[in-house]
Structure 1
Amino acid sequence: MKLLFLCTGNACRSQMAEGWARTLGGDALEVRSAGLEAHGKNPRAIAVMAEAGIDISGQESTPLTPEMLDWADLVVTVCGHADAHCPALPPGTQKRHWPLEDPARASGSEVQVMQVFRASRDEIRRRVEALLGELGMLREGAAHDGH
């Protein structure tokens, strides 16, 4: 199973989803993320994933290519903009949409902004676990290992 997470800038939500899927997915799962544009990696997304024991700092912010769409069995759009502007998918490629709020748009104190990032991280984990469970791709014991 080849899973591609797609968002506008490939900086936060799709990066966190890729990290969760790599960690929680079984050996038969390949995961990538991309953006309609590449906005670079968000340091807060990296920080909150590190709090959960997952290092996404080595992942790249990558612009979507036609080859990525050809590669993927399933494309998950994680924001409305990516969903609305997702190119046509090759025959047989499935698509899901998760309407996730962008934590990078959070305002307030640093503590408040980080709370939004943590909530986003936890919501993405729940969605990734549910998807991988549905696909039979959840690594044995992954839902209970405390990550």
Structure 2
Amino acid sequence: MIKKQILFLCTGNSARSQLAEAIFNHMAGERFHADSAGVHPSEIDPRVFEVLKAHSISDEELRSKDYSEVANNHYDFVITLCDNAKDECVIFKDDVNQLHWNLFDPKPLEGIEPFERTGTELIERISLFLLLNSEDHTEHVDPSSFFKLLSDPLRLKILMLLEDEQDLTVTELKNALNESQPKVSRHLALLRDTTFLKDTRHGLWIHYRLSPSLPMWIKHLLQTIRLGNPGIINAEKSRLKTAQQKTK
């Protein structure tokens, strides 16, 4: 397996990026490898090692590096951790995915607590990064096309219903949405043709579900919309349940 390469870039490579390198490599398994570097490197703050020890994370390979030392390496992702590093004149190729996590600098503050907070924030961000970027084979979806589809209230509710119910027929969706079958079918066809839905025939009925090949970022976003708006399809779910009970 070819590992994807990550570079964490900061000003001093003495605190945030060192924590990020060690925590990422501890969490990432076999799919990724992380390095870190600084545009103006300085000595690693000893509190970095205290935080890593508290989390049973190895610090064996950590050392402060100048960006020039790794500038010729290929990286799939470059993640800057401070505004100074982001604004330095470092130009990356178009195939390098660039992210910016503007973490506060714990070094000027006293004690271990600021470093622990930075470590906790990195664990949360890295967990989400790994969740959303660990898939090898998924459909490529243009985000602008996806959000254009979500902008229609009826399509959004179709996706929310399928997120909840997993599998529904056109008739069940028509009943839940209180819309005509041609209108519902038209929106379902659009979602299916843009690969967001998968349809299968069971006897006389065609069943719809979210495509299993959707990228994880879309699955996660749909789950977040649903959890953050628990009442968004209350009326639709009530109508669906009523209609299902009548057919029993």
Q: TM-score, normalised by structure 2?
A: 0.50
Sort the Cα spacing of 1:74 and 1:40 in 2 relative to 1 into closer, same or farther, 3 A.
same
Q: Judge conservation of contact 1:74–1:96 (CA < 8 Å) in 2.
A: yes
Q: Judge conservation of contact 1:38–1:61 (CA < 8 Å) in 2.
A: yes
Q: Judge conservation of contact 2:26–2:58 (CA < 8 Å) in 1.
A: no
Q: Structure 1 CA distance, aligned partners of 2:103 and 2:112?
A: 16
Which position in structure 2 is the counterpart of 1:52?
55
Which position in structure 1 is the counterpart of 2:212?
none
1:117 to 115, 118, 127: 115
DSSP-derived class of the 2:117 partner: helix
Deviation at 1:51, TM superposition (A): 0.4
Which position in structure 2 is the counterpart of 1:85?
88
1:132 to 130, 137, 157: 130
1:97 to 96, 100, 104: 100
Sort the Cα spacing of 1:10 and 1:26 in 2 relative to 1 into closer, same or farther, 3 A.
same
Deviation at 1:86, TM superposition (A): 4.9
DSSP-derived class of the 1:95 partner: strand
Q: Structure 1 CA distance, aligned partners of 2:68 and 2:31?
A: 23
Q: Judge conservation of contact 1:69–1:89 (CA < 8 Å) in 2.
A: no
Deviation at 1:134, TM superposition (A): 1.1
Superposition misfits of 4+ residues, deviation over 3 angstroms: 66-70
Sort the Cα spacing of 1:100 and 1:72 in 2 relative to 1 into closer, same or farther, 3 A.
same
Which position in structure 2 is the counterpart of 1:144?
none
Which position in structure 2 is the counterpart of 1:62?
65
Q: Structure 2 CA distance, aligned partners of 1:86 and 1:49?
A: 31
RMSD: 1.6
DSSP-derived class of the 1:65 partner: helix
Q: Name stretches of at least 5 consecutive residues in structure 2 with no aligned partner.
A: 136-248
1:27-85 Cα distance to aligned partner (Å, 9 max, x none): 12121000002202110011111101112253110000275364111000011111111
Q: Which has the higher contact order (CA 8 A, sep 6+)?
A: 1
Which position in structure 2 is the counterpart of 1:25?
28
Q: TM-score, normalised by structure 1?
A: 0.83
Q: Judge conservation of contact 1:8–1:37 (CA < 8 Å) in 2.
A: yes
Q: Structure 2 CA distance, aligned partners of 1:86 and 1:123?
A: 27
Q: How many pairs align?
A: 132
Deviation at 1:26, TM superposition (A): 2.4
Q: Give percent identity, aligned residues only.
A: 27
